Amino acid sequence: MDLVFIISLLFLGCIVGFAAGLLGIGGGMMLVPFLTMLFPLFGVPDSLVVHAAIATSMTTIIFTSISSVRAHHAKGAIRWDIVGVMAPGMIVGGLISGGAVFSYLSGAWLSLFFGLFVGYSGLRMLVAKPPAIPRQMPGKAATAGVGVAIGFASGLLGAGGGFLSVPFMTRCSVAVRHAVATSAALGFFIAVANSLGYIFSGLKEVQGQPGMLGYVYWPALLVLSAMSVLTAPLGARCAHRWPVATLKRVFACLLFSLAAYMLYGAYRAFE
């Protein structure tokens, strides 16, 4: 990697780690589009760019989530009872997604799927309101089933699941502060399961490609993880002090831009 690439990744790692701690989003919503811009400039084949961006983004969450979880746990914000029920389902969904389905989808379809979900997430940040009738967390079987769905969807997006798990928990009367912290903990299990799937499902596809461990581009992973681990605790601390609702509106605008970029990429690939 040359100096420009390293500096770009260092900057991205700082922003992604901070966002993960602040909003419980895992960082993938921001990281994947930027990696799809950078990877072609530094030797990753076009046919592998989207797969590598998603897989590398997800794998960084393993390290980011550990740092973020420590900060949230110190403040007693994580609902470990919810983690214990949802995490097994998320592992199953992640292994199915990252270990099987991911390798069969083209970069165009992954870009389309990513763009649509990022746009949807941005829209929810702008317009989502608390349910008129408070709900409670469903039974263990239903909650685990939700975990499977979130783990599966996250594997196709390279995101830690916060874009689905946080709204789910808040609609079930879990306080936003606890939902964000719990989402950060759940992101670790999603990331581990999907990352293992990406590595094993991509081994044959990337044979001979420098820097690739399965679909994971490990040189970028090292740089991104080093910086995100440092900034995630700062984001977690700010989540308890800053006007997160206002920040989410700003972040939603960024998501719309990134969604448009990925959808345009999908359009060009299909064309």
pLDDT, one tens digit per residue, over 17-48 is 777 666 655 566 778 888 888 888 878 888 88
Residue 239's pLDDT is 66
Residue 131's pLDDT is 54
Question: By C-alpha distance, which of 230, 196, 19, 236 is closest to 98?
Answer: 196
Q: Whole-angstrom Cα distance, residue 183 to residue 38?
A: 28
Provide Rg for the chain, Cα atoms.
17
Amino acid sitting at position 60: T
For 76-89, what is the mean pLDDT? 90
Between the alpha carbon of residue 172 and those of residues 40, 78, 169, the distances in Å are 42, 15, 5
Range of the domain at 127: 3-270
pLDDT interval class at 158 (50, 70, 90) = confident
Total domains present in the chain: 1
Question: Which residues share a beta bridge with 239?
Answer: none
